[in-house]
Amino acid sequence: MNGGDGETDRRRRFGELCESLRPDLLRFAWWLGRDRGVAEDVVQESMLRAWKSLDALADERKAKAWLLTIVRREFARSFEKKRLELSDVDALVAAESAILAAPEDERVAEMREAIFRLDAEYREPLVLQVLMGYSTQEIAGMMGMQQGAVLTRLFRARARLRQQLGLAPEREP
């Protein structure tokens, strides 16, 4: 009986977790794949994988980082090759125009498209840092990289954004 209650409680907590984190997971997956269909599929599959390996989550306070790591692995496993075939970024911009639109502020729309056009190696750590709020050390852990490499990518991401937006260029380190 206790085991059954435990399972029910586990399901409920997992459901609440997914519900609260789903918007961020979808945003992250969309910025990875730049395709709403891919984002939906990646998050759906990631939820299934997370449920199957829920016991691996020792600390629920770290659930978001854990789920984001599952999302990026799932994306790499299933969709990265597929998206690389569609390398025409102009076509991607056109296809995702509804999400890129920010009619309330033209500057936001301009920045959004500039980020959309960044190479994945710069876009991903930027999303994890600025949107998800992780430190460079945490990002290094999630991406399996040295912290110094993450710092370089973040520096270059901002330098490229400044370049794309026509701002004064920043010297590369």
Partner 1 sequence: MTTCLEFRRRVGAEPFAADAAIDAHRRECAPCARHQDELRAMDGLIRQALKVNPPARESAAAPASPRAWRPRFFAVAASLAAGVAVALIVLVASPRAAIAREVVNHVLHEPDATGATASLPPAAIAAVLDPSGMRLRDGVAGSVSFAARCVVDGQVVPHLVVQRPEGPVTVLVLAHRSVARPVRFSRQGYAGVVLPAPRGAIAVVGQDVADLDAVAREVFAAVEWGK
Minimum Å gap between C-beta 85 and partner 1 is 20
Size of the site for partner 1 (CB under 8 A): 53
Q: Which residue has the tokens 């590369």?
A: 172
**Which member of 68, 134, 136, 142 binds partner 1 (CB under 8 A)?**
136
**Which member of 48, 103, 144, 145 binds partner 1 (CB under 8 A)?**
103
For residues 145-164, which are near partner 1 according to CB under 8 A?
150-152, 154-155, 158-159, 161-164
**Of 2 and 137, CB closest to partner 1:** 137
**Of 27 and 49, CB closest to partner 1:** 27
The string of DSSP codes covering 95-148 is HTHHHH--TT-HHHHHHHHHHHHS-HHHHHHHIIIIIT---HHHHHHHHT--HH
Burial of 52 (0-12, 13-18, 19+ CB in 10 A): exposed
Distance of CA 9 to the CA centre of its chain: 29
Instruction: Express the helix, strand and coil content of the chain in percent, nearest 5 each.
Output: 80, 0, 20
For residues 4-23, which are near partner 1 according to CB under 8 A?
22-23
CA 64 – CA 86 distance, rounded (Å): 29
**Which member of 30, 66, 79, 134 binds partner 1 (CB under 8 A)?**
30
**Of 10 and 97, CB closest to partner 1:** 97
Minimum Å gap between C-beta 3 and partner 1 is 35
**Which member of 101, 119, 121, 146 binds partner 1 (CB under 8 A)?**
101
Q: Which residue has the tokens 């997971």?
A: 25
CA 45 – CA 92 distance, rounded (Å): 23
The residues of the shown chain that bind partner 1, judged by CB under 8 A, are 22-23, 26-27, 30-31, 36-37, 39-40, 94, 97-103, 105-115, 126-127, 129-131, 136, 150-152, 154-155, 158-159, 161-168, 170-171, 173
